[in-house]
Amino acid sequence: MARIKELQAPVQPEKLAGLTCGDLVSLSGVVYTARDAAHQRLVARLEAGQPLPFALENQALFYVGPSPTPPGKVIGSCGPTTSSRMDAYTSLLLKKGLKVMIGKGPRSHAVVTAIQRYQAAYLVATGGAAALLAQCVKKAELVAYPDLGPEAIYRLEVEKMPLVVAIDSQGRDLFAHGAEAEALI
């Protein structure tokens, strides 16, 4: 059985060097949410030389748009969205210090190359497990772009979020291994 590696966010870059494609990860700490529209706005701000609503350095971004928060809960269901929709924006965010992305599905060759260049990691969450992932969120607060509704940027405090390393800092890609992937986990 695979050993689960503990990871704290914001992430210390040397911790990412110890992760290998296929590793199981338990993530705790602070992560920010961002989907397509938020990514577009973040990149536009960077290209205009404007400050971002949060510091990117060593941060983790969770590609999610939570459902409405039920009474008595911290957050609604929050499952990962398809990560490839963020690919056009990812290289610049990695260059500016982003270290971890959380989503689902494969990434483009350009993103895999950027992950390796900037010594980052791409972690995947199980699609369809949004209610389980919501239980890992201990606090949620709106940070930016409230007009985007559930796609606004939120600061989440998470505890023991179960993830899998899909692309490690060496550029090894779980999705590229196909039938060999089972041996990695």
Mean pLDDT computed over 78-94: 96
151 in a domain, yes or no? yes
185 within a domain of the structure (yes/no): no
**pLDDT class for 93, splitting at 50, 70, 90?**
very high
Residue type, 171: G
Per the structure, the count of domains in the chain is 1
Nearest 5°: phi and psi at 40?
-60, -45
Does any domain span residue 122?
yes
pLDDT (tens digit per residue) in 47-73: 999 999 999 999 999 999 888 899 999
pTM here is: 0.94
Q: Would 73 be classed as within a structural domain? A: yes
Q: Which domain does 90 fall in, by range?
A: 4-180
Taking residues 121-145, what's their average pLDDT?
A: 93
The answer, yes or no, to whether residue 88 has pLDDT greater than 90, is: yes
For residues 89 and 43, the answer to whether their CB atoms sit within 8 Å is yes
- Write the CATH number for 81: 3.20.130.10
pLDDT surpasses 50 at 185: no
Q: Tell me the C-alpha distance between 5 and 18, whole Å.
A: 9
- Is residue 103 situated within a structural domain? yes
C-beta separation of 21 from 173 below 8 A: yes
